[in-house]
């Protein structure tokens, strides 16, 4: 296992969820590589370029009253020099601490031109 690649992937995953929870769209985009692909709810969505990932779209699908999300599991499946596959479970929460939902996902984190970012994800979330 490539420990440096795994550490980089975990760091970018943390940056992604931290940006999401701060409602910081530039930070979320910085935590991704593009084109960025999401497979969920029977749809494939591709954001071609940095800046195309809009938080308003996320909030619209996150659930009524979404306040923040947490990682519940991030287990490496495959770790290479420039790509990491992770088995992920995350939860979405309301401000009052009540659970909106928990979802299992596969995340693919890649290094492109020296930048680590989330490239693709396949989720059972809507």
For residue 94, what pLDDT is reported? Answer: 97
For residue 87 the two structure tokens come to: 């088995």
Which tens digit of pLDDT belongs to each residue from 6-45? 999 999 999 999 999 999 999 999 999 999 999 998 899 9
What is the CATH number for 30?
3.10.450.50
Q: How many domains does the structure of the chain reveal? A: 1
For residue 126, what pLDDT is reported? Answer: 66
The parent domain of residue 32 ranges over: 3-123
Contact predicate 11/116, CB 8 Å: yes
For residue 1, what pLDDT is reported? Answer: 63
pTM of model > 0.85 = yes
Averaged pLDDT score across all residues of the chain: 95
* Residue of 77, 56, 59 whose CA lies nearest to 121: 77
């Amino acid at each position: 296992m490539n420990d440096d690649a795994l550490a980089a992937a975990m760091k970018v995953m943390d940056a992604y969820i931290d940006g999401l929870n701060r409602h910081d769209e530039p930070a979320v985009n910085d935590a991704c590589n593009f084109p960025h692909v999401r497979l969920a709810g029977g749809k494939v969505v591709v954001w071609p370029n940095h800046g195309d990932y809009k938080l308003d779209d996320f909030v619209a699908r996150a659930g009524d009253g979404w306040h923040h999300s947490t990682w519940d599991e991030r287990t490496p499946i495959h770790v290479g020099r420039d790509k990491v596959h992770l088995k992920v479970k995350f939860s979405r929460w309301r401000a009052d601490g009540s659970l909106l939902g928990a979802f299992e996902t596969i995340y693919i984190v890649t290094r492109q031109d020296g930048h680590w970012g989330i490239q693709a994800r396949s989720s059972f979330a809507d």
